[in-house]
Structure 1
Amino acid sequence: MKRDTFTLPLAFPGELIVDNFAGGGGTSTGLERAFGRPVDIAINHDPEALAMHALNHPHTQHLCESVWDVDPIEVTRNQPVALVWLSPDCKHFSKAKGGTPVAKHIRGLAWVGMRWVALCKPRVLMLENVEEFQTWGPLLVGADGLARPDPARKGKTFQSFVRQLRGHGYTVDWRELRACDHGAPTIRKRLFLIARRDGLPIAWPEQTHAEPTDRRVLAGKLAPYRTAAECIDFELPAESVFGRKRPLVDNTMRRVAKGLMRHVL
């Protein structure tokens, strides 16, 4: 995406950029490209994830602890904050989880953003998650003692989250975006929420790519979708799906066959 994708101006001197739930460093890489400088603080409770982040971003301060154990005032030394980025655990919202039980403490991780808002008042807060995050709501405990989302109150907690951001003086907007529409070789859809209190408008990126058969692509107005094949070095030796000591499971073989039929044969 272009540097001004989210119209977040380059941070003023002394302002900080904070990456909560930092993984291997992909988000921080994007932020670094947008700001033209490293992310200041990265937080994750997983030492392996944070070790990978440290390799990718050696100039960032790394905090290996729960996001709830971090004191925003202490770690920022009360410096102004330009951006707080949140990518909380999405497994307990994703449709891939199906009807299996969920955990309230994991579904509620996004609330840590409100702590940063109340204490540090960052100019901008951004949140990325699966599209089902918009259904965030209260849980019901069933006869088996396990918690599942209450279908009658679907989205109520998400609405409360947005309402509280606005109560702190933020303008809030959110959209579902697919990275393939903006030049990345993945079709996964994600929800992006932006809250800002600096008086500047929230702007969203314009689509730059589409299906190769799309009339806008044929007319030269958009570029064709990039493919995962661009990211694969086919010169590297790889083990065949056949003749393995431990055969691939049936579902994997079905996906391989489906892919061959669809994209090769």
Structure 2
Amino acid sequence: MPIDPPVLDSPRGSKMPVISLFSGAGGLDLAVERVADTPLQSPVVPSNGPFRVAVATDYSAQALDTLSLNLPGTATWPGDIRDTPTSELLRVGSMSAGDAALVVGGPPCTPFSKSGFWLAEKRESRDPNASLLEEYVRVVAQARPEAFVLENVQALTYKTHQKHFQQLLAALADLGYNPQWKTLLAADYGVPQLRKRVFIVGRRDGQAFRFPEPTHAGPSETTRSWDTSKLFHVSAEQAFAGLKTVSESKELVEGKYGQLAAEVPAGQNYLWHTPRLGGRDEFEWRSRYWTFLLRLAPDKPSSTLQAQPGPYVGPFHWENLRNENGDLRARRLRVPELLRLMTFPDDFQLIGRRADVQRQLGNAVPLELGKAVLRALTLQLGYIDAETDSDDQLVRSTSDAVLIS
């Protein structure tokens, strides 16, 4: 059942309200509330930022339970957005049209992601969930926030989905928001993950949003040269510095490919076991997804964390452990390690089984990436003083983000 808005204390109640759509576990929501804070500040510590998430909605009640644990002052509304009137979201958030400072959210990326791309309806962009983009536009049109931030997978911009993408931009432009979009690499903003996401940002006053400049640089799948004046990408090993973890149930990679996974060196994948490299002759060259039997390289950022990986889909940790029979096996990443790779606080709480946790984090926006976009927007709207939020502070905060234990 919907949860009525809590009684807010004065400091939080004086902050500008934000509507969160497709909220999930609250990665973008946490970025909204921590936009002016130092990295990895505990989610329960009062924020210095100008915003509060007044209402968050998602189809997954479990994900909203996670959000509520970490943002207890946010009212939540579980349910299908297609059945949720904007007026109800405004009521639950104690707002009227025009009150919201922001609408934020990332419509589910399934219709546009590479996962399941072999399905005809996805290849042809016929997935019915693509209509969720229209629901986002509908809430912006009716709530009339000062600005909006929409996040999605990079594939939304591909030629295959060009029709949906152009319709989305046109609809937002018709509302007067002058939408600007850009694909950002999370690692370029201090996140130890080579995760690409497209952001679309618009302002009600029609002024063009300017995306933040990257603070970090380094090699990626498509980059072999980079700006050496910037900080180098944060590596997985740096992200895990000072982190103490305990073993988790079923963390070892067993079964059909268990031994093969253990033999893959750090930074390599199933291609190690092809005639071209040093492993066994088990697979054809480029016959599997890149993440099959993928091991983390300690000196590089992680690949994108997936929401629903198969049993042999990495990235797996670079270290091997022995199973009950004494055989070496690769191990899956532990939850505290996943949190570090997402630049979430160490004390971020998640509800559900291990698969539920993986899904919630894999679907989330890395906290420091969300903060980079939202901080730029907040500066441009005039809610943070540029003199007290210098470029040096931005560089320092994102550099230190994953080094705080």
TM over 0.5: yes
Q: 1:123–1:197: 8 Å Cα contact kept in structure 2? A: yes
The one of 58, 72, 75 aligned to 1:44: 58
The one of 141, 145, 148 aligned to 1:125: 148
Compared CA separation, residues 195 and 255, structure 1 to 2 (3 A):
farther
Matches within 5 A, 1:85-234: 85-100=104-119, 101-102=121-122, 104-135=127-158, 154-211=161-218, 216-217=227-228, 221-232=229-240
Compared CA separation, residues 202 and 37, structure 1 to 2 (3 A):
closer
Amino acid at match of 1:83: L
Q: Secondary structure at the match of 1:93?
A: coil
Q: 1:44–1:63: 8 Å Cα contact kept in structure 2? A: yes
Amino acid at match of 2:204: R
> Greater strand share, 1 or 2?
1
CA-CA distance at 1:89 after TM superposition: 0.9
The one of 235, 242, 245 aligned to 1:236: 245
Q: Secondary structure at the match of 2:101?
A: strand
Q: 1:172–1:194: 8 Å Cα contact kept in structure 2? A: yes
- Higher RCO by CA contacts (8 Å cutoff, separation 6 or greater): 2
Query: What is aligned with 1:259?
Result: 266
Q: Secondary structure at the match of 2:168?
A: helix
Matches within 5 A, 1:48-63: 48-63=62-77
Post-superposition CA distance 1:26-65 (Å, at most 9, x none):
1111111124443111101211111001001100010011
Q: Secondary structure at the match of 1:192?
A: strand
Q: Give the stretch that moved more between structures: 223-232 or 96-105.
A: 96-105
Query: What is aligned with 1:73?
Result: 87
| Separation (CA, whole Å) in 1 of partners of 2:128 and 2:157 | 17
Q: 2:16–2:51: 8 Å Cα contact kept in structure 1? A: no
Q: Secondary structure at the match of 1:97?
A: coil
Query: What is aligned with 2:20?
Result: 19
| Separation (CA, whole Å) in 2 of partners of 1:55 and 1:69 | 25
TM norm structure 1: 0.76
Amino acid at match of 1:133: L
Q: 1:38–1:57: 8 Å Cα contact kept in structure 2? A: no
| Separation (CA, whole Å) in 2 of partners of 1:239 and 1:60 | 31
CA-based RMSD of the aligned residues comes to: 3.2
Q: Which runs of 5+ in 2 are unaligned?
A: 1-12, 36-48, 269-294, 299-317, 319-405
CA-CA distance at 1:258 after TM superposition: 4.1
Q: Secondary structure at the match of 1:111?
A: helix
Amino acid at match of 1:225: H
CA-CA distance at 1:23 after TM superposition: 1.1
What is the percent sequence identity of the aligned residues?
27
| Separation (CA, whole Å) in 2 of partners of 1:185 and 1:46 | 27
Amino acid at match of 2:143: C
Amino acid at match of 2:29: S
Compared CA separation, residues 26 and 200, structure 1 to 2 (3 A):
same
Compared CA separation, residues 156 and 185, structure 1 to 2 (3 A):
same
CA-CA distance at 1:200 after TM superposition: 3.8
Compared CA separation, residues 155 and 224, structure 1 to 2 (3 A):
same
Q: 1:241–1:248: 8 Å Cα contact kept in structure 2? A: no
Query: What is aligned with 1:32?
Result: 33
CA-CA distance at 1:229 after TM superposition: 2.5
TM norm structure 2: 0.51
Query: What is aligned with 1:83?
Result: 102
